[in-house]
């Protein structure tokens, strides 16, 4: 069967445009070497059916059974990536194809690279399809909810190996460095043999485009600096965002904030995230508008959104950038004791911005989400961070993806929500202590439900409302009066 599985994988690779028929013998020999097969029977011409991920899993299972690799996560990940690397062209070839397609249209170029990233199993769609995803209607629009089930659980042997093999290795310096391209991986560090990136110079610097291996939304991409340096939000960051959407006007692009608590999971490598997706925040309605007197070609308004967001629009890029920088610099130094906002504790800064850029025709649109990472005795994880009453749903940082209206929730919720579902149906259940109050309130409001579909609908809507509360906690201004005071500060500078 191993020969049929190999033939099947090679045929699927041809079907999906990874290789051409002329490459078959070469690729087969490369895969044989990885599986320690010294010959290939002439009679083995049948090809197994299946998708690329399924056939790849069969080859890895064979290697485990035959003790070619150990039955631990990292060994299997490294072998799978190495096998698929046999089917992926070198970076220069891929970049040349991308450039040729870009001449026809930017969308053609990204379509090609996204398809390649999926077909090469760098984006592991088989795992991603395990995620639970739905939308929930709220006063802010339809929020996206994802329960993240795509990351494989580490078995005890894997955890033991990581502990025993802890080494001080600084290559690559982090998982976002360009040096990850083609890197085989090691114990405790992800396999990237089948990983490729695209050159996208921005403002005279070397930057690179790749897709997230977890794609939480359509064409979820990462744009990373060649230099390993800390995240930084400044006028130049805004310029890069606009330069990127000039190159790829069918994408949005944004940045996590550059401070702990309100930033993303990686603050040590300057990078942005983008893609081809319409979030609820993209379509958020205008709460009220205001004028920026020195920026007459820029329209400004505050969004009806749980976080505090100023949207700037203009066809004049230079003036838009100046207006955005004015807001950033004012906010960096802004304090308002009434709203619990302090710009500094000693020399430690607390105010920053999560920016998101997009184009609508010829109009640039720049969303500036005001963030503050100060903590207090009452809120030790952050005053403008999910508060304790929503930690049973989410207590992690609110980064760029959540800011725009997509909740990435922990895998534990899958089983925990199933128990609450049973409770709503008056069936035997075991509800976690931290969900008890929430479950009781649902039962009081909705009573005992008669069908599984009704219970699922109620749970999804209730989860959406909880996520809206998570985002409201992260909003620095809890009402129009507080926002108006900041706008007056903008106008006085």
Q: In this structure, what are the phi and psi dihedrals at residue 289, rounded to the nearest 5 degrees? A: -110, 165
Does some domain include residue 483?
yes
Query: Is residue 217 in some structural domain?
Result: no
pLDDT value of position 42: 84
Question: Residue 434's pLDDT is what?
Answer: 96
| pLDDT confidence tier of residue 280, bands split at 50, 70 and 90 | very high
Q: What is the β-pairing status of strands 299-303 and 351-360?
A: unpaired
Any domain includes 211: no
Shared domain check, 413 and 300: yes
Residue 156 — pLDDT band, cuts 50, 70, 90? confident
Q: Model-level pTM?
A: 0.94
The pLDDT confidence band at residue 442, using thresholds 50, 70 and 90, is very high
Region of poorest pLDDT, from 139-143, 168-172, 320-324: 168-172
Say how far apart CA 176 and CA 185 lie, in whole Å: 13
In the prediction, which pLDDT does 159 show? 75
Domain end (from 28, 52, 68): 68
Same-domain check for residues 141 and 64: no
Q: In this model, does residue 162 exceed pLDDT 90?
A: no
Residue 150 is predicted with a pLDDT of 87
Number of domains in the chain: 2
Rounded to an integer, what distance in angstroms lies between the CA atom of residue 407 and that of residue 264?
A: 14
Asked whether residue 35 falls in the same domain as residue 135, the answer is no
Structural tokens at position 351: 């105010």
Q: Number of C-alpha atoms within 13 angstroms, CB side, residue 70? A: 9
45-84 confidence digits (pLDDT tens): 899 999 999 999 999 999 999 999 999 999 999 999 999 9
Start-to-end CA distance of the chain, whole Å, equals 73
- Yes or no: say if 314 and 290 are a contact pair by the CB < 8 Å rule: no
| Bond into 4 cis (ω within 30) | no
Query: Alpha-carbon distance 437 to 444, whole Å?
Result: 11
What is the pLDDT, as a whole number, of residue 200?
98
Mean pLDDT of 359-367: 97
State which residues form the domain around 134: 130-151+275-493
Q: Which two tokens stand for residue 339?
A: 């709203």
Shared domain check, 404 and 308? yes
Domain boundary among 28, 53, 68: 68
Q: Contact, 339 vs 225, CB < 8 A?
A: no
Q: Comparing C-alpha atoms, which of 434, 427, 380, 429 is closest to residue 412?
A: 434
41 and 145 inside one domain:
no
User: pLDDT value at position 236?
Assistant: 98
Under the banding of pLDDT at 50, 70 and 90, the label for residue 283 is very high
Do 305 and 423 sit in the same domain of this protein? yes
When pLDDT is averaged across residues 355-372 and rounded to a whole number, the result is 98
Residues 481 and 408 in one domain: yes
Domain membership of residue 108 (yes or no) is: no
Q: Is the pLDDT of residue 166 over 90?
A: no
Of 463, 350, 373, the closest CA to residue 410 belongs to 463
Residues 64 and 137 in one domain: no
Q: Do 407 and 467 meet the contact criterion of CB atoms below 8 Å apart?
A: yes
Opening angle at CA 441, ends 440 and 444, nearest 5? 90
Number of H helices, E strands in the chain: 15, 15
Assess if residue 492 is contained within a domain. Answer: yes
User: 336 and 470 in one domain?
Assistant: yes
Q: Residue 264 — pLDDT band, cuts 50, 70, 90?
A: confident
Report which of 216, 225, 217, 292 is spatially closest to residue 255, judged by C-alpha positions.
225
Mean pLDDT of 33-39: 96
CB 452 within 8 A of CB 421: yes
Backbone phi, then psi, for 163, in 5-degree steps?
-65, -45
The pLDDT, as a whole number, for residue 443 is: 94
How high does pLDDT run on average in the chain?
Answer: 95
> Do residues 15 and 146 share a domain?
no
Domain boundary among 39, 68, 97: 68
112's enclosing H/E stretch is: helix 106-119
220 is a domain residue: no
Inter-axis angle of helices 452-474 and 412-424, nearest 10: 130
Looking at the structure, tell me whether residues 45 and 138 fall in a common domain.
Answer: no
Distance CA 170, CA 180 (A): 12
Residue 192 belongs to some domain of the structure: no
Confidence of residue 276 (pLDDT cuts 50, 70, 90): very high
Q: Is residue 389 part of a domain?
A: yes
pLDDT recorded at residue 493: 75
Residues 134 and 64 both lie in one domain: no
Q: Are strands 406-409 and 141-147 parallel, antiparallel or unpaired?
A: parallel
Predicted local distance difference test score (pLDDT) of residue 164: 77
pLDDT of 104 higher than 80: yes
């Amino acid at each position: 069967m191993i020969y049929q599985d190999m033939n099947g994988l090679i045929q699927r690779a041809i079907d999906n445009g990874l290789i051409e028929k002329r490459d078959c013998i070469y690729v087969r020999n490369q895969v044989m070497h990885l599986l320690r097969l010294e010959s290939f029977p002439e009679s083995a011409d049948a090809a197994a059916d299946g998708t690329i991920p399924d056939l790849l899993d069969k080859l890895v299972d064979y290697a485990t059974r035959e003790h070619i690799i150990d039955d631990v996560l990292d060994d299997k990940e490294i072998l799978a990536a190495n096998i698929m690397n046999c089917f992926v062209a070198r970076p220069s070839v891929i970049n040349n194809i991308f450039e040729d397609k870009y001449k026809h249209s930017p969308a053609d170029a990204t379509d090609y690279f996204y398809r390649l990233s999926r077909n090469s199993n760098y984006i592991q769609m088989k795992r991603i399809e395990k995620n639970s995803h739905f939308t929930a209607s709220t006063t802010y629009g339809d929020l996206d909810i994802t329960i993240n089930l795509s990351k494989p659980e580490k078995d005890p042997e894997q955890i033991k190996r990581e502990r025993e093999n802890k080494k001080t290795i600084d290559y690559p310096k982090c998982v976002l460095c360009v040096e990850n391209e083609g890197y085989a991986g090691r114990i405790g560090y992800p396999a990237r043999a089948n990983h490729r990136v695209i050159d996208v110079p921005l403002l005279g610097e070397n930057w690179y485009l790749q897709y997230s291996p977890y794609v939480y939304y359509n064409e979820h991409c990462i744009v990373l600096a060649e230099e390993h340096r800390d995240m930084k939000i400044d006028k130049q960051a805004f310029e890069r965002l606009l330069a990127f959407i000039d190159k790829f006007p069918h994408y949005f692009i944004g940045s996590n904030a550059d401070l702990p608590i309100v930033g993303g999971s990686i603050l040590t490598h300057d990078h942005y995230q983008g893609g081809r997706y319409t979030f609820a925040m993209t379509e958020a309605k205008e709460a009220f508008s205001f004028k920026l007197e020195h920026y007459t070609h820029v329209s400004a308004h505050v969004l009806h959104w749980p976080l505090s967001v100023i949207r700037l629009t203009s066809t004049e890029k230079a003036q838009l950038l100046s207006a955005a920088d004015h807001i950033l610099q004012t906010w960096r130094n802004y304090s308002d004791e009434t709203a619990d906002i302090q710009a500094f504790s000693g020399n430690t800064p607390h105010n920053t911005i999560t920016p998101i850029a997009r184009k609508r025709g010829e109009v640039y649109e720049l969303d500036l989400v005001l963030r503050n990472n100060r903590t207090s005795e009452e809120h030790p994880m952050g005053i403008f961070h999910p508060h304790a009453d929503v930690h049973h749903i989410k207590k992690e940082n609110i980064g760029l993806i959540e800011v725009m209206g997509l909740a990435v929730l922990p895998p534990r919720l899958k089983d925990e929500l199933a128990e609450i579902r049973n409770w709503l149906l008056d069936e035997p259940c075991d509800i976690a202590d931290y969900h008890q109050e929430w479950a009781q309130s649902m039962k009081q409001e909705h009573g005992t439900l008669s069908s599984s579909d009704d219970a699922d609908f109620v749970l999804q809507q209730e989860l959406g409302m909880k996520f809206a509360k998570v985002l409201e906690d992260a909003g620095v201004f809890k009402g129009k009066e507080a926002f108006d005071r900041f706008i007056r500060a903008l106008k006085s500078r």
